[in-house]
Amino acid sequence: GGRTDGAQLRMARRGGDADADAWGDARVGPYAVGETIGTGSVGKVKLAQHVISKELAAVKYIRKDTLEADLSLKRKIFREIAIMKLLDHPNVLQLYDVFENQTHLMLVLEYAERGELFDYVAENGYLEEAHAVRFFQQIMDSVGYCQRRLISHRDLKPENILLDKDFNVKLADFGMGVLNFPGVALKSPCGSPHYAAPEIVAGRGYNGLLADIWSCGVILYVLVSGGLPFDDDNIQVLFQKVSECDFEIPEELSHSVKDLIRRMMVVNVDERLSISRIMDHDWMRQRPYEIVADDFGQRHFPPVTQPIESLVDHLVDLGWGDVDRVHVLLASEKEDLIRHSYEQLVRHNVFKRAKRSGLTGELLRNAVNQVDLSDHALPQSKLGDYTALARRSDVCRDEAHVLTSGASRGSDDSRQYHRDQHRKSVKHGEADNAARATNHQRGEYTSDIAQLSHQTEAIGL
């Protein structure tokens, strides 16, 4: 503990390497861990550097005893892990890896050295519109990417938007995120009061994707005005203002940005602008912007008849249903979304292994792009020898550690029972019966933490 001389932070800002002494001996997998760069409610965030590639990362330490004492926090953390594995967009913060030891869970994340967009706006007071539009284009592109995959963030605010060294947006903190299936109304109130949509503060069922549009409208207001559209020391008065959409826009702002804000922050959810219409708005088109290529919705993913069981578990945890139903959906010709999610989980596994070995840039991208649903194993020769790194690591586990007590094992046993039953039904030509298996509620995330323990992967997996 205590203060440091800032050697790592100065090195990080330069984009170069630091003296070996600046890092010390602490290791998380192939990452050398250095000084603390942040402290949150569940633990510290430390700067780290890959010992081979020299790429910087941020390691988020989460105390296991804190998780044990708070089931809702456990769900929040593991939900964030599950959703981040599905996302691969230049304006979404990447999850590189997950490790654990006896006392901590450690998330290795992309390093966004410029910090929160909130702090950037606070330091500048407000942003000129020509400056703000660049940030907002990237924000809406990343939110649109999530929404095409039915992912609602549910806590969009400048504090959860980070900036990299080139001041590019990195959407972060998916702890409130959820898959919002069509026709399913979410019920859990989520988000921060100043950014939450009227339907959320009113306690009604809501569409998370449309609620995110409202929050983005509030973010745009903050960027160009330097203030909040709704504010009051009394939370009930604040909620009343939000419910009535009672706010004023500074007169000095352009007519175009006022129009965009007003059309995003509409109480009637059916009247809020869609992502595509936001991107096509006159204010957004004042600066050239090329939307990140995304062929989702245009590709047909082939049926998967022999999926990797650990990835099936991820899909169960994300709300697709029980093991039987996930098998049926993966083998179906109709459900492209779940197979896209499955393929992305496969890609993330390969990405993780390649990242551990030190691959970066184009080599890393090529390794991941070679993967498809039928070929999920990257040849070891392309990955290098990362097992030697594991021997030096403080975190070297051959199997995932179950975070819960034995009393919580029932859900895992139930899952294995259903998996065994599924195999029997296939063997006897009765696979159609799986379609009638009990379906978990699709929408709100309610999995027990024991069902999520497989996500705490270790270097040996």
Residues involved in catalysis: 155
Asked if residue 401 lies in contact with residue 453, where contact means CB atoms within 8 angstroms, the answer is yes
Angle at 120 between CA 114 and CA 125, to 5 degrees: 165
CA-CA distance, 152 to 147, in Å (whole number)?
A: 6
- The Cα angle at residue 201 between residues 198 and 207, in degrees rounded to 5: 60
φ, ψ for residue 84 (rounded to 5)? -65, -30
Burial 73-104 (b: 16+ CB within 10 A, else e): bbbbbbbbbbbbbbbebebbbbbbbbbbbeeb
Name the residue among 282, 281, 264 with its Cα closest to residue 273: 264
Q: Minimal CA–CA distance to 96: which of 60, 66, 46?
A: 60
**Which amino acid belongs to residue 200?**
I
Sequence letter at residue 269: V
Measured in degrees and rounded to the nearest 5, phi and psi for residue 372 equal: -140, -175
Joined tokens for residue 308? 């990797």
Q: Residue 388: what are its φ and ψ, rounded to 5°?
A: -65, -35
Q: Which residues, including other chains, have CB under 8 Å from residue 325's CB and lie 6 or more apart? A: 434, 435, 437, 439, 440
Burial of 450 (0-12, 13-18, 19+ CB in 10 A): buried
Q: Kindly give, in sequence order, each residue whose CB lies less than 8 Å from that of residue 52, ignoring residues fewer than 6 positions away.
A: 30, 357, 358, 384, 389
CA distance 335 to 358: 35
Distant-in-sequence, close-in-space partners of 226: CB < 8 Å, separation ≥ 6: 121, 124, 125, 126, 127
Question: Which is nearest to 51 in space by CA: 83, 4, 18?
Answer: 18
Which candidate, 27, 26, 25, 24, places its Cα nearest to that of 5?
Answer: 24
